[in-house]
Structure 1
């Protein structure tokens, strides 16, 4: 074998990347990680801003129905969170926003009432005619409830809905309703534990930001327990 064709790398010695090569790889890896974190930060921050923006909207245009998202009830008595939503729905009904209020929500094991039934009974006891309240007695989370309401509305030829929930809940519920083929807008309650303090407001925005991102990525619900339901 000629000296020109002989290997210049001694036999038995592995090829070791130079320090400059390793440094370059680490720099690129660091840039990728930093870029990913920046994108995630912008996405989270942007979603939080949208949650806050939509929470401030009171859209009281005329619709086919007003939807009250369920919350805890105790032997047929709505919790303070649920009552605030129901009072808002009753106020919207009184303004002529819609001729029908829909309550929604199932019940837990051992409960005597569904959330929907407790809401219907509360509204009827507070001046809303019983035949103007539709109780959709199913759903253990926001997505299931909205899917059930959409099915009930489509079956009745109804297509537009004003959603009465907590302010921070508005964007996610509106997004889900529109995904179910409904024309949906929001007019949330301005009373109740969800809006009592700055702390509860910040907690609500953070919670709904995470839940909305989860829904957009997976199309599953991610409901977290609301602030104290007294």
Structure 2
């Protein structure tokens, strides 16, 4: 009688004697821990930048005007006492806020470059007086080559005069950073941005300033220093 034969599938020869089949090893993803950390850090940075840009855009859309001790006009370029188009747009808005009774006074700010006959604050004050705002209702604080230094000077003046609150007038994209700096300096601050002027005319310009302000705000929050852009009014 013959021995029973084992049945195997075709093409499956018996393994060599003394050898056992090995199980397949784990599949490797191909990404090291260092690479994963790098990707994670990049995602976090992009998230922070994205959230900051969204905040800049959101605050730019808000006109938070309310009664205050003073309307503060942030400086921009002036040419021999004549406000630039950017500065003139801010001043017109501040004048209207004053006429609407939002605040009893307007504070103009901004220093001057070497050789200038006028500071930004002085050119702004003179322009408002020419429009019929009484000189007793306008005060120039001609200090600061950037937003931070100007607002610190305004905060010091407010403390001397016994003022506590301020309504800041600038361009929309500048609002969040200016408000943050003013509050850090001790002012109870809100923003009422101008809706006219060259900075708000085209979508390309708006996107460029949102991009710029996002970087400038992150820089300030990290260092509590200002981006040095003297004459722009947005340093």
Q: Which ranges in structure 2 are unaligned for 5 or more consecutive residues? A: 1-27
Bigger radius of gyration: 2
With normalisation by structure 1, the TM-score equals 0.86
8 Å CA contact 1:65–1:100 kept in 2: the answer is yes
Equivalent pairs counted in the alignment come to 206
1:111 correspondence with 2:133? no
8 Å CA contact 1:174–1:186 kept in 2: the answer is yes
- In structure 1, the residue matched to 2:194 is 189
8 Å CA contact 2:74–2:109 kept in 1: the answer is yes
Secondary structure in structure 2 of the residue aligned to 1:61: coil
RMSD: 1.8
Instruction: Indicate the structure with greater helix content.
Output: 1
- In structure 2, the residue matched to 1:65 is 70
Deviations 1:36-90 (A, max 9, x none): 1111001000000000000011112100000000000000000000000101100
1:177 corresponds, among 171, 174, 182, to: 182
Secondary structure in structure 2 of the residue aligned to 1:190: coil
Deviation at 1:99, TM superposition (A): 0.4
- In structure 1, the residue matched to 2:166 is 161
- In structure 1, the residue matched to 2:5 is none
8 Å CA contact 2:219–2:225 kept in 1: the answer is yes
Q: Which ranges in structure 1 are unaligned for 5 or more consecutive residues? A: 1-22
Deviation at 1:26, TM superposition (A): 5.8
8 Å CA contact 2:146–2:230 kept in 1: the answer is no
